[in-house]
Amino acid sequence: MSGPLGVLKSIYNFFAGDAIILAGVALAFVAARLLVLFAGGLGAIAAASFVALIVASLVFTLWRETRRRNSASG
């Protein structure tokens, strides 16, 4: 793989390495911003949802990797 596609793949692997983590972080930012806009001064709820969405994406990624390793070994 060479050229622009190789550069884009390298950048993606550097920042995320996994599409679920990348999507989870993007969703966390959008959700937190919407909560701040529409819920007014409830920054604590926005922060908690931000952290919860990122942790959920990490947990889902770890679950998927564990399942993949177990199916490959068994």
- In terms of residue numbers, what domain contains 28? 18-73
Distances (CA, A) of 74 to 19, 65, 66, 68: 26, 14, 12, 10
Query: Does the residue 13 lie in any domain?
Result: no
pLDDT above 70: residue 3:
yes
Count structural domains, the chain. Answer: 1
Q: Is residue 24 in a domain?
A: yes
| Any domain includes 56 | yes
C-beta of residue 53 within 8 angstroms of C-beta of residue 28: yes
pLDDT at 54: 92
How many helical (H) and strand (E) elements, i.e. helices and strands, does the chain have? 3, 0
Domain annotation covers residue 1: no
> What is the reported pTM?
0.69
Residue 26 is assigned to a structural domain of this protein: yes
Query: pLDDT tens digits, residue range 20-63?
Result: 888 888 899 999 888 888 877 678 888 898 999 999 998 998 89
Does residue 12 sit within a domain? no
Is 41 a member of any domain? yes
